[in-house]
Chains A and B, each alone.
Chain A
Amino acid sequence: MIGGPHPMTPAPYRVRSRRPDRADTVTLTLEPVRGDCPPFRPGQFTMLYAPGVGEIAVSISGRARSGGYTQTIRAVGAVSAALCGKRPGDVVGVRGPYGRGWDVPAAAGLDVVVVAGGLGLAPLRPLVRALLRERPRHGRISVIAGSRAPGLLLYPQDLARWARQGADVRVTVDHPGHTWRGPVGLVTRLLDRIVFEPRRTCAFVCGPEPMMRAAAAELVRRGVAPGRVELSLERNMKCAVTRCGHCQLGPLFVCEDGPVLRYDRAAGLLEVREL
Protein backbone atom coordinates (compact mmCIF):
# COMPACT_ATOMS: atom_id res chain seq x y z
CA MET A 1 0.00 0.00 0.00
CA ILE A 2 1.27 3.49 -0.81
CA GLY A 3 2.70 5.33 2.22
CA GLY A 4 3.30 2.19 4.30
CA PRO A 5 0.88 0.21 6.38
CA HIS A 6 -2.42 1.63 7.52
CA PRO A 7 -2.04 3.32 10.95
CA MET A 8 -4.54 0.85 12.44
CA THR A 9 -2.64 -2.25 11.28
CA PRO A 10 -0.58 -3.88 14.03
CA ALA A 11 2.80 -5.51 13.58
CA PRO A 12 3.17 -9.10 14.78
CA TYR A 13 5.22 -9.48 17.97
CA ARG A 14 6.15 -12.72 19.68
CA VAL A 15 5.87 -13.22 23.43
CA ARG A 16 9.41 -14.01 24.49
CA SER A 17 8.78 -14.36 28.21
CA ARG A 18 5.96 -14.07 30.70
CA ARG A 19 6.38 -13.24 34.35
CA PRO A 20 3.40 -13.32 36.72
CA ASP A 21 3.65 -10.27 39.02
CA ARG A 22 0.48 -10.78 41.02
CA ALA A 23 -2.59 -12.99 40.79
CA ASP A 24 -4.13 -10.72 38.15
CA THR A 25 -1.03 -9.09 36.63
CA VAL A 26 1.70 -10.32 34.31
CA THR A 27 4.69 -8.75 32.58
CA LEU A 28 5.25 -9.84 28.99
CA THR A 29 8.40 -9.32 26.97
CA LEU A 30 7.45 -8.76 23.33
CA GLU A 31 9.74 -8.91 20.33
CA PRO A 32 8.88 -8.10 16.73
CA VAL A 33 8.57 -11.14 14.49
CA ARG A 34 10.46 -9.14 11.85
CA GLY A 35 12.85 -6.22 12.32
CA ASP A 36 13.58 -4.18 15.44
CA CYS A 37 11.41 -2.65 18.14
CA PRO A 38 10.99 1.06 17.42
CA PRO A 39 12.57 3.29 20.09
CA PHE A 40 10.28 4.61 22.82
CA ARG A 41 10.39 7.39 25.36
CA PRO A 42 9.54 6.69 29.03
CA GLY A 43 5.81 7.20 29.53
CA GLN A 44 4.75 6.14 26.03
CA PHE A 45 2.33 3.30 25.37
CA THR A 46 1.47 0.80 22.65
CA MET A 47 -1.83 -0.62 21.46
CA LEU A 48 -1.69 -4.36 22.14
CA TYR A 49 -3.95 -6.60 20.08
CA ALA A 50 -5.05 -10.01 21.34
CA PRO A 51 -5.99 -11.71 18.06
CA GLY A 52 -9.70 -12.24 17.76
CA VAL A 53 -10.45 -10.46 21.05
CA GLY A 54 -9.48 -6.80 20.78
CA GLU A 55 -6.97 -4.06 21.33
CA ILE A 56 -6.04 -1.98 24.40
CA ALA A 57 -3.57 0.69 25.43
CA VAL A 58 -0.70 -0.56 27.61
CA SER A 59 2.29 1.42 28.86
CA ILE A 60 5.80 0.34 28.00
CA SER A 61 7.40 -0.59 31.31
CA GLY A 62 10.89 -1.16 29.97
CA ARG A 63 13.18 -2.46 27.29
CA ALA A 64 14.37 -6.02 27.78
CA ARG A 65 18.02 -6.92 27.32
CA SER A 66 17.01 -8.74 24.13
CA GLY A 67 15.73 -5.41 22.77
CA GLY A 68 12.00 -6.15 23.16
CA TYR A 69 9.42 -4.18 25.11
CA THR A 70 8.32 -5.24 28.55
CA GLN A 71 4.67 -4.46 29.26
CA THR A 72 2.78 -5.12 32.47
CA ILE A 73 -0.89 -5.96 32.10
CA ARG A 74 -3.60 -6.32 34.70
CA ALA A 75 -6.56 -8.53 33.76
CA VAL A 76 -9.66 -6.36 34.21
CA GLY A 77 -11.70 -7.43 31.18
CA ALA A 78 -11.79 -9.46 27.99
CA VAL A 79 -8.76 -8.04 26.18
CA SER A 80 -6.45 -7.59 29.16
CA ALA A 81 -7.30 -11.10 30.38
CA ALA A 82 -6.57 -12.56 26.92
CA LEU A 83 -3.20 -10.80 26.84
CA CYS A 84 -2.38 -11.96 30.38
CA GLY A 85 -3.04 -15.52 29.21
CA LYS A 86 -0.46 -15.37 26.40
CA ARG A 87 2.49 -17.75 26.67
CA PRO A 88 6.04 -17.60 25.31
CA GLY A 89 5.88 -18.25 21.56
CA ASP A 90 2.38 -16.79 21.13
CA VAL A 91 1.95 -13.89 18.72
CA VAL A 92 0.13 -10.64 19.47
CA GLY A 93 -0.28 -7.40 17.49
CA VAL A 94 1.49 -4.18 18.47
CA ARG A 95 0.96 -0.61 17.25
CA GLY A 96 3.02 2.30 18.45
CA PRO A 97 4.72 3.50 20.54
CA TYR A 98 2.34 6.42 20.90
CA GLY A 99 1.86 9.52 22.97
CA ARG A 100 3.83 12.14 24.79
CA GLY A 101 6.01 10.67 27.53
CA TRP A 102 7.65 12.12 30.62
CA ASP A 103 9.80 15.21 30.11
CA VAL A 104 13.04 13.62 31.32
CA PRO A 105 15.39 16.45 30.23
CA ALA A 106 13.35 18.94 32.31
CA ALA A 107 14.49 17.07 35.45
CA ALA A 108 18.15 17.98 34.92
CA GLY A 109 19.59 19.78 37.93
CA LEU A 110 16.43 19.36 40.00
CA ASP A 111 15.27 17.20 42.88
CA VAL A 112 12.91 14.57 41.51
CA VAL A 113 9.84 13.15 43.25
CA VAL A 114 8.22 10.12 41.62
CA VAL A 115 4.81 9.09 42.98
CA ALA A 116 3.21 5.81 41.85
CA GLY A 117 -0.04 4.15 42.83
CA GLY A 118 -0.48 0.46 41.96
CA LEU A 119 0.05 -0.26 38.28
CA GLY A 120 1.03 3.40 37.84
CA LEU A 121 4.56 2.23 38.52
CA ALA A 122 4.64 0.60 35.05
CA PRO A 123 5.06 3.77 32.93
CA LEU A 124 7.28 5.32 35.64
CA ARG A 125 9.74 2.42 35.63
CA PRO A 126 11.60 3.43 32.44
CA LEU A 127 11.65 7.01 33.74
CA VAL A 128 13.31 6.05 37.04
CA ARG A 129 15.80 3.91 35.14
CA ALA A 130 16.64 6.83 32.84
CA LEU A 131 17.08 9.19 35.81
CA LEU A 132 19.35 6.74 37.63
CA ARG A 133 21.44 6.12 34.51
CA GLU A 134 22.31 9.80 34.70
CA ARG A 135 22.36 10.01 38.47
CA PRO A 136 24.88 12.92 38.74
CA ARG A 137 22.71 15.18 36.56
CA HIS A 138 19.92 15.21 39.14
CA GLY A 139 19.48 16.29 42.73
CA ARG A 140 17.77 13.98 45.19
CA ILE A 141 15.64 11.27 43.58
CA SER A 142 12.73 9.98 45.66
CA VAL A 143 10.32 7.24 44.64
CA ILE A 144 7.07 6.81 46.55
CA ALA A 145 5.07 3.70 45.66
CA GLY A 146 1.65 2.87 47.01
CA SER A 147 0.13 -0.60 46.94
CA ARG A 148 -3.09 -2.13 48.22
CA ALA A 149 -1.23 -4.80 50.20
CA PRO A 150 2.43 -5.76 50.68
CA GLY A 151 2.08 -8.87 48.49
CA LEU A 152 0.64 -6.79 45.63
CA LEU A 153 3.61 -4.45 45.31
CA LEU A 154 4.82 -4.26 41.72
CA TYR A 155 8.52 -4.70 40.77
CA PRO A 156 9.94 -5.26 44.30
CA GLN A 157 13.37 -6.12 42.85
CA ASP A 158 13.50 -2.88 40.90
CA LEU A 159 12.55 -0.86 43.97
CA ALA A 160 15.37 -2.50 45.93
CA ARG A 161 17.84 -1.90 43.10
CA TRP A 162 16.85 1.76 42.77
CA ALA A 163 17.47 2.20 46.51
CA ARG A 164 20.96 0.72 46.07
CA GLN A 165 21.55 3.06 43.14
CA GLY A 166 20.90 6.10 45.30
CA ALA A 167 17.15 6.76 45.18
CA ASP A 168 15.17 7.29 48.36
CA VAL A 169 12.52 4.60 47.86
CA ARG A 170 9.43 4.56 50.11
CA VAL A 171 6.55 2.14 50.01
CA THR A 172 3.15 2.49 51.65
CA VAL A 173 0.25 0.02 51.69
CA ASP A 174 -3.49 0.32 52.33
CA HIS A 175 -3.91 -3.06 54.04
CA PRO A 176 -0.80 -3.99 56.03
CA GLY A 177 -1.70 -7.53 57.13
CA HIS A 178 0.29 -9.02 59.99
CA THR A 179 3.84 -8.84 58.73
CA TRP A 180 4.17 -5.35 57.24
CA ARG A 181 6.16 -2.92 59.41
CA GLY A 182 6.34 -0.03 56.96
CA PRO A 183 4.07 2.96 56.37
CA VAL A 184 0.31 2.52 55.95
CA GLY A 185 -2.03 4.88 54.09
CA LEU A 186 -1.98 7.38 51.27
CA VAL A 187 1.10 8.11 49.20
CA THR A 188 0.65 11.81 49.94
CA ARG A 189 1.55 11.16 53.59
CA LEU A 190 5.01 9.97 52.54
CA LEU A 191 5.74 13.40 51.07
CA ASP A 192 6.45 14.34 54.72
CA ARG A 193 9.19 11.77 54.98
CA ILE A 194 11.27 12.56 51.91
CA VAL A 195 13.62 15.47 51.43
CA PHE A 196 13.24 17.85 48.50
CA GLU A 197 13.66 21.55 47.84
CA PRO A 198 10.17 22.47 46.49
CA ARG A 199 11.35 25.38 44.36
CA ARG A 200 13.94 23.18 42.71
CA THR A 201 11.81 20.06 42.30
CA CYS A 202 9.96 18.33 39.52
CA ALA A 203 7.50 15.51 40.07
CA PHE A 204 6.17 12.61 38.00
CA VAL A 205 2.91 11.05 39.13
CA CYS A 206 0.90 8.07 37.88
CA GLY A 207 -1.87 6.07 39.50
CA PRO A 208 -5.60 6.19 40.07
CA GLU A 209 -6.92 9.64 39.24
CA PRO A 210 -8.00 10.66 42.78
CA MET A 211 -4.53 9.75 44.01
CA MET A 212 -2.89 11.81 41.24
CA ARG A 213 -5.09 14.81 42.01
CA ALA A 214 -4.26 14.58 45.73
CA ALA A 215 -0.53 14.08 45.16
CA ALA A 216 -0.27 16.93 42.64
CA ALA A 217 -2.27 19.31 44.83
CA GLU A 218 -0.08 18.45 47.83
CA LEU A 219 3.16 18.95 45.88
CA VAL A 220 1.93 22.34 44.67
CA ARG A 221 0.82 23.28 48.20
CA ARG A 222 4.39 22.63 49.30
CA GLY A 223 5.72 24.98 46.66
CA VAL A 224 6.48 22.83 43.63
CA ALA A 225 5.58 24.75 40.45
CA PRO A 226 2.43 23.28 38.78
CA GLY A 227 4.31 23.32 35.48
CA ARG A 228 6.90 20.97 36.98
CA VAL A 229 4.39 18.34 38.04
CA GLU A 230 3.55 15.78 35.35
CA LEU A 231 0.69 13.29 35.46
CA SER A 232 -0.07 10.37 33.17
CA LEU A 233 -3.78 10.15 32.39
CA GLU A 234 -5.65 7.04 31.42
CA ARG A 235 -8.55 7.56 29.09
CA ASN A 236 -10.26 4.80 27.17
CA MET A 237 -8.76 4.68 23.72
CA LYS A 238 -9.70 3.02 20.49
CA CYS A 239 -7.57 4.34 17.63
CA ALA A 240 -4.64 5.99 19.50
CA VAL A 241 -4.03 8.18 16.42
CA THR A 242 -6.49 11.08 17.06
CA ARG A 243 -9.17 9.79 14.68
CA CYS A 244 -11.88 8.41 16.90
CA GLY A 245 -12.14 10.98 19.68
CA HIS A 246 -12.67 8.37 22.43
CA CYS A 247 -9.90 9.78 24.60
CA GLN A 248 -10.78 13.42 24.13
CA LEU A 249 -10.46 15.48 27.29
CA GLY A 250 -11.58 19.06 26.74
CA PRO A 251 -9.45 20.34 23.86
CA LEU A 252 -6.91 17.52 24.19
CA PHE A 253 -6.54 14.10 22.65
CA VAL A 254 -4.97 12.06 25.44
CA CYS A 255 -3.49 9.63 22.86
CA GLU A 256 -1.36 12.34 21.27
CA ASP A 257 -1.24 15.34 23.63
CA GLY A 258 -0.83 12.89 26.53
CA PRO A 259 -0.92 10.52 28.23
CA VAL A 260 1.60 12.63 30.17
CA LEU A 261 0.32 16.14 30.84
CA ARG A 262 1.65 18.94 32.98
CA TYR A 263 -0.51 19.62 36.02
CA ASP A 264 -0.98 23.29 35.09
CA ARG A 265 -2.66 22.06 31.90
CA ALA A 266 -4.45 19.03 33.32
CA ALA A 267 -5.80 20.39 36.63
CA GLY A 268 -8.91 22.06 35.20
CA LEU A 269 -9.66 19.15 32.89
CA LEU A 270 -9.50 16.50 35.58
CA GLU A 271 -12.73 17.88 37.01
CA VAL A 272 -14.47 16.82 33.77
CA ARG A 273 -15.92 13.39 34.38
CA GLU A 274 -15.31 10.71 31.79
CA LEU A 275 -18.38 10.19 29.59
Chain B
Amino acid sequence: MGPVVRERVIRFEEVPSADRLAGGWTDVQEPGRYRLAEGADEMIFSFAASPDSAKRYTQPPRQTLFRMRGEHVEEAEPDAPRVALLGVRAT
Protein backbone atom coordinates (compact mmCIF):
# COMPACT_ATOMS: atom_id res chain seq x y z
CA MET B 1 0.00 0.00 0.00
CA GLY B 2 1.32 3.46 -0.77
CA PRO B 3 0.58 6.88 -2.28
CA VAL B 4 -1.14 6.69 -5.66
CA VAL B 5 -2.79 9.52 -7.62
CA ARG B 6 -6.40 8.74 -8.38
CA GLU B 7 -9.15 11.23 -9.30
CA ARG B 8 -6.71 14.08 -8.62
CA VAL B 9 -6.16 13.02 -5.03
CA ILE B 10 -3.15 11.31 -3.49
CA ARG B 11 -4.77 8.23 -1.99
CA PHE B 12 -3.18 5.62 0.20
CA GLU B 13 -4.08 2.41 -1.55
CA GLU B 14 -2.83 -0.66 -3.32
CA VAL B 15 0.14 0.12 -5.58
CA PRO B 16 -0.05 -1.98 -8.77
CA SER B 17 3.57 -1.19 -9.69
CA ALA B 18 6.38 1.14 -8.59
CA ASP B 19 5.80 3.58 -11.46
CA ARG B 20 2.27 4.21 -10.20
CA LEU B 21 3.63 5.73 -6.95
CA ALA B 22 2.84 9.45 -6.69
CA GLY B 23 6.32 10.58 -7.80
CA GLY B 24 6.40 14.26 -8.78
CA TRP B 25 3.08 15.08 -7.16
CA THR B 26 2.25 16.93 -4.01
CA ASP B 27 -0.86 18.37 -2.46
CA VAL B 28 -1.87 21.80 -1.26
CA GLN B 29 -4.14 21.68 1.74
CA GLU B 30 -5.88 24.42 3.69
CA PRO B 31 -8.94 24.33 5.89
CA GLY B 32 -11.76 23.15 3.61
CA ARG B 33 -9.53 22.91 0.54
CA TYR B 34 -7.50 20.20 -1.19
CA ARG B 35 -5.68 20.49 -4.51
CA LEU B 36 -3.28 18.18 -6.27
CA ALA B 37 -0.17 20.01 -7.47
CA GLU B 38 2.95 19.19 -9.42
CA GLY B 39 5.92 18.89 -7.12
CA ALA B 40 9.26 20.55 -7.69
CA ASP B 41 10.99 17.20 -8.07
CA GLU B 42 10.34 13.47 -8.38
CA MET B 43 9.74 13.03 -4.63
CA ILE B 44 7.34 10.17 -4.00
CA PHE B 45 6.33 10.93 -0.44
CA SER B 46 5.87 14.66 -0.68
CA PHE B 47 2.27 14.79 0.45
CA ALA B 48 0.32 15.50 3.63
CA ALA B 49 -2.21 13.14 5.18
CA SER B 50 -4.48 11.59 2.58
CA PRO B 51 -8.16 10.84 3.06
CA ASP B 52 -7.08 7.27 3.75
CA SER B 53 -5.20 6.04 6.74
CA ALA B 54 -2.92 3.18 7.69
CA LYS B 55 -5.28 2.59 10.59
CA ARG B 56 -7.61 0.79 8.18
CA TYR B 57 -4.98 -1.93 7.99
CA THR B 58 -3.70 -1.93 11.57
CA GLN B 59 -7.20 -1.71 13.10
CA PRO B 60 -9.74 -2.78 10.50
CA PRO B 61 -13.07 -1.02 11.08
CA ARG B 62 -15.02 -4.17 10.35
CA GLN B 63 -14.01 -7.64 11.24
CA THR B 64 -15.97 -10.85 11.32
CA LEU B 65 -15.60 -12.30 14.80
CA PHE B 66 -17.86 -15.32 14.65
CA ARG B 67 -20.75 -16.92 12.80
CA MET B 68 -23.70 -18.37 14.61
CA ARG B 69 -26.13 -20.83 13.02
CA GLY B 70 -28.61 -22.45 15.34
CA GLU B 71 -26.60 -23.69 18.28
CA HIS B 72 -23.32 -23.69 16.35
CA VAL B 73 -20.94 -20.83 16.93
CA GLU B 74 -17.87 -20.72 14.75
CA GLU B 75 -15.07 -18.25 15.34
CA ALA B 76 -13.84 -16.55 12.19
CA GLU B 77 -10.16 -16.72 11.34
CA PRO B 78 -8.75 -13.21 11.53
CA ASP B 79 -8.57 -11.81 8.00
CA ALA B 80 -5.02 -10.47 8.10
CA PRO B 81 -3.39 -10.41 4.66
CA ARG B 82 0.35 -9.64 4.51
CA VAL B 83 0.74 -6.01 3.53
CA ALA B 84 3.65 -3.57 3.24
CA LEU B 85 2.75 0.06 4.03
CA LEU B 86 4.92 2.60 2.16
CA GLY B 87 5.12 6.25 3.15
CA VAL B 88 2.92 6.16 6.25
CA ARG B 89 2.34 9.70 7.50
CA ALA B 90 2.08 10.56 11.15
CA THR B 91 -0.88 12.86 11.68
A residues near B, CB below 8 A?
1, 5-6, 8-12, 14, 33, 49, 51, 91, 93
Contact A6 B68 (CB under 8 A): no
Task: Give the segment of B5-13, B35-43, B49-57, B71-79 that binds chain A.
Answer: B71-79
For B65, give its contact among A6, A33, A51, A91 (CB under 8 Å): A6
A136 to chain B: closest CB distance in Å? 44
Q: What B residues does A5 contact at CB under 8 A?
A: 75
The residue in chain B whose Cβ has the minimal distance to the Cβ of A49 is: B68
B residues near A, CB below 8 A?
65-66, 68-73, 75
Contact B65 A8 (CB under 8 A): yes
Q: What B residues does A91 contact at CB under 8 A?
A: 68, 70-71
Contact A10 B75 (CB under 8 A): no
The CA-CA distance from A46 to B69 in the complex, in Å, is 20
The residue in chain B whose Cβ has the minimal distance to the Cβ of A12 is: B71
The CA-CA distance from A88 to B72 in the complex, in Å, is 17
A3 to chain B: closest CB distance in Å? 12
Contact B68 A10 (CB under 8 A): yes
For A9, give its contact among B65, B69, B71 (CB under 8 Å): B65
Q: What B residues does A33 contact at CB under 8 A?
A: 71
Q: What A residues does B75 contact at CB under 8 A?
A: 1, 5-6, 9
Q: What B residues does A11 contact at CB under 8 A?
A: 73
The residue in chain B whose Cβ has the minimal distance to the Cβ of A1 is: B75
Contact B71 A14 (CB under 8 A): yes
Q: What A residues does B73 contact at CB under 8 A?
A: 9-12, 93
Q: What B residues does A8 contact at CB under 8 A?
A: 65-66
Contact A12 B65 (CB under 8 A): no
The residue in chain A whose Cβ has the minimal distance to the Cβ of B77 is: A1
Contact A93 B65 (CB under 8 A): no
Q: What A residues does B65 contact at CB under 8 A?
A: 6, 8-9
A250 to chain B: closest CB distance in Å? 25
Q: What A residues does B69 contact at CB under 8 A?
A: 51
The CA-CA distance from A6 to B46 in the complex, in Å, is 41
Contact A51 B68 (CB under 8 A): yes
The residue in chain B whose Cβ has the minimal distance to the Cβ of A33 is: B71
Known interface pairs A8-B65, A12-B71; 9 further A-B residue pairs with C-beta atoms within 8 A, sorted by A's residue number: A5-B75, A6-B75, A10-B68, A10-B73, A12-B68, A51-B68, A91-B71, A93-B68, A93-B73
The residue in chain B whose Cβ has the minimal distance to the Cβ of A32 is: B71
The CA-CA distance from A33 to B69 in the complex, in Å, is 13
B77 to chain A: closest CB distance in Å? 9
Q: What A residues does B68 contact at CB under 8 A?
A: 10, 12, 49, 51, 91, 93
Q: What A residues does B71 contact at CB under 8 A?
A: 12, 14, 33, 91
- Between A and B, 21 residue pairs with Cβ closer than 8 Å are A1-B75, A5-B75, A6-B65, A6-B66, A6-B75, A8-B65, A9-B65, A9-B66, A9-B73, A9-B75, A10-B66, A10-B73, A11-B73, A12-B68, A12-B70, A12-B71, A51-B68, A51-B69, A91-B70, A91-B71, A93-B68
The CA-CA distance from A6 to B71 in the complex, in Å, is 17
The CA-CA distance from A9 to B78 in the complex, in Å, is 13
The CA-CA distance from A93 to B65 in the complex, in Å, is 13
B66 to chain A: closest CB distance in Å? 5
